[in-house]
Structure 1
Amino acid sequence: MSVILILIITSIVVATVFLGAFFWAVKSGQYDDTYSPSVRMLFDEKKKSKGNE
C-alpha cells in the first residue's frame, strides 16, 4: 500500500512540474508566433552557391 502512495505522490509532483513549465513557456511568449510557421513553407529560400556570390 505504501508503494502506491509513493507512486501517486511522485506522479502528482511530476505533473505539477510539467504544468508549471507549460505555464512558464506560455508566459514567456513561446507560443506567440502562430502565423509565420504556416507561411514559411510557401517562400523559397535562395541558396548561395560558390560561383554566384
Structure 2
Amino acid sequence: MTIIFLLIGISLLVALTFLGAFLWAVRSGQYEDEYTPSVRMLFDEEDEQKGS
C-alpha cells in the first residue's frame, strides 16, 4: 500500500514539474508567434541561394 502512495507522490511531482516548465515557456514568449511557423516552408531562403 505504501508503494501506491509513493508512486502517486512521484507522479504528482513529475506533473508539477512539467506544468512549471509549460508555464515558464508561455511566460517567456515561446508561443507568441502562431502564424510564421505554419508558412515558413513557403518562403524561399535567399541566403542559401546567394552562397552557392
Which has the higher Rg, Structure 1 or Structure 2? 1
Give the Cα separation in 2 of the matches to 1:43 and 1:28: 26
Structure 2 unpaired stretches of 5+: none
Distance 1:2 1:10 in 2: 12
Indicate the percent of aligned positions where both proteins have the same amino acid. 63
TM-score of the aligned structures, taking structure 2 as reference length: 0.84
**Structure 1 segments (4+ residues) deviating >3 Å:** none
User: Distance in 1 between the 2:27 and 2:33 partners?
Assistant: 13
> More deviation in 27-36 or 37-46?
37-46
Question: Which residue in 2 is equivalent to 1:33?
Answer: 33
Write out per-residue CA displacement over residues 19-39 of structure 1, whole angstroms, 9 at most, x where no aligned residue: 011011001100101111111
Where structure 1 has 5 or more consecutive residues not aligned to the other structure, the ranges are none
Equivalent pairs counted in the alignment come to 49
Looking at structure 1, the residues matched to 40 and 12 of structure 2 have their Cα atoms a distance apart, in angstroms, of: 39
